[in-house]
Amino acid sequence: MTVNNITKEDVLAALSKVQEPELHKDLVSLNMIKDITINGSEVKFNVVLTTPACPLKGKIEKESREAVMSIKGVEKVEVVLDSNIPSDGRNRGNLSLKAKHVVAIASGKGGVGKSTVSVNIAVALAQAGARVGLLDADIYGPNIPTMMGVERLPAFEENQIIPAEAYGVKLMSIGFLVKPGQPLIWRGPMLHSAIRQFLSDVAWGEMDYLIIDLPPGTGDAQLSLAQSIPISGGVIVTTPQVISLEDASRGLYMFKQLDIPILGVVENMSYLELPDGQIMEIFGKGGGEALANEAETEFFGKIPLNTDVRIGGDTGKPIMVSQPDSKAAKELKKISELIAAKLSVAALDRVQDIELEIIE
Ligand SMILES: Nc1ncnc2c1ncn2[C@@H]1O[C@H](COP(=O)(O)OP(=O)(O)OP(=O)(O)O)[C@@H](O)[C@H]1O
Ligand SMILES: [Mg+2]
């Protein structure tokens, strides 16, 4: 039997032909290949993705496996997918908040599913292996504790608020600090300081993604938040109907005014699938896409109406956990991946820009 001398250079040469589909460069130039080991005809290596929730990880894994398999003498390939999430480069040091990305979920009007989307996106990112925080900035009608099935915070430690935790996500909400049903009346400065405290006095620990569920509309809480913390980007949730779209445009306009980059649009309650497979478009059609086009931003996807989504919210067991194979959960997972990918691409672009500035 002849001994094949496969070298690391052979492996790198093969992998330099595999493109990262979103960054448009090859895996080797992007420094994504680590820990190559060669054992006779067996090759093992790590591909370090820019997010564990990479939407194209299956494609990258398949193409890198095939590339290395095509080297003469290779009989077995093991691809280990790993990740190293680039930070968005924004300085949050004054809040001592260690989040690589902060994403605000907003809409122009109430009841379109911001909290539902926030909860499920947060859970989906945690399920992918990311460290995730979820901040309920809806200080008038906090829903996150119920939707995540958590009633109270853990005990304080050394004067720090310890966030609650559910489904791998750390949570903070004003709902933990007031009695259920008690009306919440805020004056401007109080509101501002409450939101700041949620960011700075909570022992969040290190996070890859902090998801912020905003209250409906475009008022004080949004302004307070934008002034308190650099936000990586905002996501607008809308329903497909025209009136909701007009409201959603207000959400977009708010992000623009506050200088928050818009990541994209999510359409919720897009259609109802009947037991015979027929699709009913209860709230109209195409609105989310139209809004994304108008704003020249990405359309992340359509979440169907599904009773289990609502039950998930009411019973504190998000659909990502209770029915991960449902259409709604799969779409939410896809949306979470597209958001994560967009954040990574934006972060890498920004870091390059910052480096270029330094060179100048
Ligand atoms: N795709 C869906 N299918 C079925 N029910 C849904 C769906 N999305 C949201 N809901 C339900 O609709 C109601 C409103 O959703 P949610 O509370 O997430 O909206 P919101 O935009 O956060 O509302 P608010 O403006 O009051 O904060 C909830 O009862 C929720 O469970
Ligand atoms: Mg809400």
Q: How far apart are CA 356 and CA 350, in angstroms?
A: 10
The long-range contacts involving 153-162, CB below 8 angstroms and separated by at least 24 positions, are 153/177, 157/203, 160/201, 160/202, 160/203, 161/197, 161/201, 161/202, 161/203, 162/202, 162/203
Q: Could you give the dihedral angle defined by the CA atoms of residues 327, 330, 332 and 334, in that order, rounded to the nearest 10 degrees?
A: -130
Q: Which ligand is in closest contact with the Cα of 109?
A: 1
What pLDDT, on the 0 to 100 scale, is given for residue 183? Answer: 66
| Residue 356: Cβ-neighbour burial (10 angstroms; 0-12, 13-18, 19+) | exposed
Atom of ligand 1 nearest to the CA of 117: 18
Q: What is the pLDDT of residues 199-224, one digit of tens each?
A: 888 999 999 999 999 888 767 777 78
**Cβ < 6 Å from ligand 1: which residues?**
107, 110-116, 138, 141, 143, 216, 268-269, 303, 305-306, 309-310, 313, 328
Looking at residue 1, its pLDDT comes to: 47
Q: Distance between CA 306 and CA 207 in Å, rounded?
A: 31
pLDDT at 354: 61
Residues 298, 343: contact at Cβ < 8 Å?
Answer: no
Structure tokens at 114: 């911001």
Look up residue 313 and give its two tokens: 């919210």
Distance CA 213, CA 155 (A): 24
pLDDT given at position 331: 98
Do 32 and 47 form a contact (C-beta atoms < 8 A)?
A: yes
- In this structure, the number of other CB atoms found within 10 A of the CB of residue 296 comes to 7
For ligand 2, the distance from its centroid to the CA atom of residue 295, given in whole angstroms, is 23
Asked whether the beta carbons of 168 and 132 are under 8 A apart, the reply is: yes
**DSSP assignments along 33-94, one per residue:** EEEEEEETTEEEEEEEES-TT-TTHHHHHHHHHHHHHTSTT--EEEEEEEE-PPP-----GG
Q: What is the mean pLDDT, run by run of 10 residues, along the chain of 360 residues?
A: 77 95 91 95 96 94 97 96 93 86 90 96 98 92 94 86 96 84 67 82 95 83 81 93 74 86 95 91 88 92 96 97 97 98 91 59
For ligand 1, mutation pick of 105, 112, 116 (most atoms within 8 Å of CB): 116
Closest CA to 234 of 120, 352, 122, 101: 101
- In this prediction, residue 186 carries a pLDDT of 63
Q: Helix and strand tally (H, E) in the chain?
A: 11, 14
β-pairing, 207-213 vs 132-136, is: parallel
Distance from the CA of 78 to the center of ligand 1, in angstroms?
Answer: 43
- The arrangement of strands across the sheet holding 76-83 comes to 33-39, 42-49, 76-83
The per-residue b/e assignment along 217-238, b for 16 or more CB within 10 angstroms, e otherwise, is: bbebbbbbbbebbbbbbbbbbb
d(CA 98, CA 87): 10
CB 175 within 8 A of CB 138: no
SS3 286: coil
What pLDDT was estimated at residue 337? 97
Degrees to nearest 5, angle at CA 285 with 283 and 291: 105
The pair of structure tokens assigned to 213 is: 């569920």
